Amino acid sequence: MSDSKVVTTKTMMTFDLSGIALDWAVAKCEGFASIARGISEDGNWYFVPAPAGEASIFSPTKIGAQGGVIARREWIFPTPAKGGEFVAYKWVGDDKCFESFGSTPLEASMRCYVESKLGSVVEIPYELIDNDGFALNKDAA
């Protein structure tokens, strides 16, 4: 019998990810070996790369100093789109382009990043999904 913890996941389209589920997917792309989450005293979500010392807030969809750095490093360019949304592009080679939409430049950029690294379908832990099957939005949590 194994002592390992079973993590149940749900298959989601990258373009449906938002909030903590998208932050989690970005953390996975960044190479965090394992990711724990919780709520800090000020109500922010945090992710802890393991092995880790102190927990730190990792929210690249909300914190420009995190998401913006990733977008610049990955050559992802967000721009305004119709309807108040944003679209982000990442060119790979001469003929392949990833394109993702979001309600903010960071959300669009992080969706684009996740799709470029993990693909258009991602396995997300159930604990990050609401009862209707959508990625939890940390602002509503």
pLDDT tens digits along 15-72 = 999 988 898 899 889 887 556 566 555 545 555 554 455 556 778 998 899 999 999 9
The three-point CA angle 114-115-121 to 5° equals 105
Task: Give the pLDDT confidence of 70-111 residue by residue, as tens digits.
Answer: 999 999 999 999 999 999 999 988 888 999 999 999 999 999
| pLDDT score of 50 | 46
Q: Which residues are registered as beta bridge partners of 47?
A: 37, 56
Confidence of residue 5 (pLDDT cuts 50, 70, 90): low
Residue whose token pair is 């080679």: 93
Asked if pLDDT for residue 9 goes beyond 60, the answer is: yes
Q: Residue 23: what are its φ and ψ, rounded to 5°?
A: -60, -40
- Mean pLDDT in residue range 115-124: 94
The CA distance from 71 to 141, in Å, is: 26
The CA distance from 20 to 44, in Å, is: 10
Of 100 and 133, which is predicted with more confidence? 100
Asked if pLDDT for residue 1 goes beyond 50, the answer is: no
Beta strand spans in the chain (E): 9-13, 35-39, 45-49, 76-80, 86-92, 96-102, 121-125
The CA distance from 134 to 141, in Å, is: 13
Confidence of residue 118 (pLDDT cuts 50, 70, 90): very high
